[in-house]
Amino acid sequence: MPDQGPAPAWRYGSSLPQRLSRNYARYRERGGRIDLYGDADAYAENGRLQDCERLMFLLLAFDQIHKEGLPGDVAELGVYKGQTATVLARNARRLGRTCWLLDTFAGFDAKDFTGADAGRGTQFADTSLAAVRARVGEENTRYIQGFFPDTAAQLPPDGRYCLVHIDCDLYAPILSALEYFYPRMVPGGFLIVHDYGSMEWDGAEKAVDVFFADKPECIVPLPDSAGSVVIRRWRPPTPDGSWLRQKQALALDQWHTPAHNQIAAALGEGWSRPEAWGIWGVDTAHTLTFAPADAASPDLVLELDVHAPLVSSRPELRASVSVDGAVAAEWLFSEGQNRGVRALPLPRQTGWRQPISVTLRPETALVPQTVNPASGDTRPLGIALHRLRLRRA
């Protein structure tokens, strides 16, 4: 494409992440915690939502922090009037964390006008700590006013962070912030630096390149207007298993439903999408992988509330059930014995640390459209799961 000067402001169209737009209602139904409208209103300036990509990225990062169960606080260096800080603080509150907000609240400090930033002048002085407090609020929020890195001493010495947003434009404070926060990020934590790719602040790009040149993590450029970058802190293997393994832990003696996402992590291969009533197994093998939340549990029984689609051409369905690969039960679904709770004793284990794998294997799957051509459902349906419970034998 020939160089035609500055690109038109909006030539290629835009779309929001589907999770937060067309599927937002589904996302919320399944327990998603992002408050899209509240956060967007808080982020908007004079009623306008500029740099929507920036907001969307922050929200998706918080969503992932919640999903993976990352511990740690939230921090921002470079608050100015609090536009991004308000989003960080709102999400820190929702996660039950503290949001640490650091700035001079009086603009750049001339001590930072060195190297690539030599000759720059005062900017961002038209703010105040009081004004930011009024906008962002006090709950779960701590303000640290002054020149960074001098103010780092006011942060908790044992502080750990799941998300840090560095937005202070200049080489020296960005490098200082990377040196301070990087070792304090929790494994998997999000370290975000604004202005890297904008070509407005050469010091930002330089500080990030210098700092990450010898780190195991690589930067990922983001498509917000100022070219933020993100790294996720390296995560070593953990003795307690991955976050996904931990999510596969089922609390004993209570019913769990697919519809409310309670067993999303336990649903392995061979399941369709959760629906309001439960979930369809598809094809002829549906696997559940889970472990009891209490590893010291005694003998356990898995109860599955299930049914099979029966039609006149297939009035019965046989299914085998295997536990960790060995057949443990044979089930018959028939007109008189279809929907109901079926119990599966689990082989005794000395401890329940390892996940257990249970696979339902219906002999055949049924495509609704082949029985009723008016049905648009072309999925090969196996066994429907309404809810499950893991109980003491």
Ligand X SMILES: C[S@@+](CC[C@H](N)C(=O)[O-])C[C@H]1O[C@@H](n2cnc3c(N)ncnc32)[C@H](O)[C@@H]1O
Question: Which spans of this chain sit near ligand X (rule: CB under 6 A)?
Answer: 78-81, 83-84, 103-104, 107-109, 112, 124, 147-148, 167-170, 173
Q: Which is nearer to ligand X, 63 or 117 (CB)?
A: 117
Backbone φ and ψ for 259, nearest 5 degrees, come out as -60, -35
**Distance of closest approach, residue 174 Cβ to ligand X, in angstroms:** 8
Report the nearest approach of ligand X to the CB of residue 220 (Å): 19
Q: Which lies closer to ligand X via its Cβ, residue 170 or residue 381?
A: 170
> What gap in Å lies between CA 288 and CA 73, rounded to an integer?
34
DSSP per-residue codes, 122-161: --S-S--HHHHHHHH-STTEEEEES-TTGGGGGS-TT--E
Q: Which residues of 363-376 are buried (b: 16+ CB within 10 A; e: fewer)?
A: eebbebeeeeeeee
Q: Which is nearer to ligand X, 29 or 109 (CB)?
A: 109
Alpha helices in the chain (DSSP H): 24-29, 36-43, 52-68, 83-95, 129-136, 171-181, 202-212, 243-247, 368-371
Find the residue with minimal CB distance to ligand X.
Answer: 78
- Residue 239 tokens, joined: 């003795």
At residue 237, φ and ψ (nearest 5 deg) are -60, 140
Nearer to ligand X among residue 109 and residue 305 (C-beta): 109
User: For 245, how many CA atoms within 13 A lie in the half-sphere containing its CB?
Assistant: 12
* Distance, CA of 65 to CA of 68 (rounded, Å): 5
Cβ closest to ligand X, residue 81 vs residue 389: 81
**Cβ neighbours for 373, distance < 8 A, ≥ 6 positions apart:** none
Beta carbon nearer to ligand X, 73 or 112? 112
Task: Report in angstroms how near the CB of residue 211 gets to ligand X at its nearest.
Answer: 16
Please, what is the minimum distance in Å from the beta carbon of residue 78 to ligand X?
A: 3
Cβ proximity to ligand X: between 88 and 346 the closer is: 88
CB of 60 to ligand X, least distance (A): 17
Shortest distance, CB of residue 168 to ligand X, whole angstroms?
4
Look up tokens 């356990």; give the residue: 300
- In the bound complex, what is the minimum distance in angstroms from residue 102's beta carbon to ligand X? 6
Residue 312: HSE in the Cβ half-sphere, 13 Å Cα cutoff? 2
Residue 349: CB atoms within 10 A of its CB come to: 16
Sign of CA dihedral 125, 86, 68, 161: positive
- Quote the least distance from Cβ 31 to ligand X, whole Å: 29
Instruction: Kindly tell me which of 46 and 312 has the beta carbon lying closer to ligand X.
Output: 46
